[in-house]
A and B are shown apart, each in its own frame.
Chain A
Amino acid sequence: NAGVTQTPKFQVLKTGQSMTLQCAQDMNHNSMYWYRQDPGMGLRLIYYSASEGTTDKGEVPNGYNVSRLNKREFSLRLESAAPSQTSVYFCVTQSGGREATDTQYFGPGTRLTVL
């Protein structure tokens, strides 16, 4: 049981390059999320998917796109990377959706540097 996996673990991009961060979960969870974490800013929600086939913007969606390929996979794409997107990115899953007892489970993170 791998839980939540993310690839790659580390990435360095040049400004303007594109890349896709991959996330997969084997927990059979409906909801999946992408957060970024920056010093002093905490965790900020980029996009989320409440269920397969649906995606919604979070707090900081500009410069990103997402795809919920199936129940297991949720990818985050940077079309034209900017230095402001240097951050640690976490993929997160949640068992249900809006139940009071739902909790979130974090992947190991992707550390992205944009030069």
Chain B
Amino acid sequence: QKEVEQNSGPLSVPEGAIASLNCTYSDRGSQSFFWYRQYSGKSPELIMSIYSNGDKEDGRFTAQLNKASQYVSLLIRDSQPSDSATYLCAVNPPGTYKYIFGTGTRLKVLA
């Protein structure tokens, strides 16, 4: 099992819909979780971080964390074509300086 797993996609959603991106991780002790957005040819940029079970909202983005089930998700409400990108999930295992990244999910928002 990979340490951080994501469906590679592409996930296609119509403009205005909710996009749901999922990520599972293997280290049960992990406490820090991050979502990055990466446009083609660009570097990843942090869009959400979450550390506690439950939901965290920031504008159109909601991160959801369930440590018991070892998954973290990202919801994008009112999806826009400009949201079309690859979304990377990252996990910081406990007691380490390292971040483990998933391979990313490619999102396509159709106008």
Chain A residues near B (Cβ < 8 Å): 31, 33, 35, 40-43, 45, 48, 50, 56, 58, 90, 94, 97-98, 100-109
Asked if B32 CB lies within 8 Å of chain A CBs, one says: yes
4 additional A-B pairs beyond A40-B8, A98-B96, beta carbons within 8 Å, are A40-B103, A100-B92, A102-B32, A109-B42
Using CB atoms, name the residue of chain B closest to A54.
B97
- Name the distance in Å between B26's Cβ and chain A's nearest Cβ: 15
Contact B45 A106 (CB under 8 A): yes
1/0 contact string of B6-38 vs chain A (CB within 8 Å): 001000000000000000000000011010000
Any A CB within 8 A of the CB of B88: yes
Q: How many A-B contacts at CB < 8 Å in the complex?
A: 54
Q: Please give me the residue from chain A that is nearest to B8 by CB atom.
A: A40
Q: Which residue of B lies closest to A45 (CB)?
A: B98
Please determine whether A94 and B97 come into contact, CB atoms closer than 8 angstroms.
yes
User: Is B103 within 8 A of A103, CB to CB?
Assistant: no
Q: In the complex the two chains form, what is the Cα distance from A97 to B99 in whole Å?
A: 11
Q: Decide if B43 touches A48 in the complex (CB within 8 Å).
A: no
Chain A residues whose CB sits within 8 angstroms of the CB of B31 once the complex forms:
100
29 contacts between A and B (CB under 8 A): A33-B99, A40-B8, A40-B103, A41-B103, A42-B88, A42-B101, A42-B102, A42-B103, A43-B88, A45-B98, A45-B99, A48-B97, A56-B97, A90-B43, A90-B44, A94-B97, A98-B95, A98-B97, A100-B31, A100-B32, A101-B51, A103-B34, A104-B46, A104-B90, A105-B46, A106-B43, A106-B44, A107-B43, A109-B42
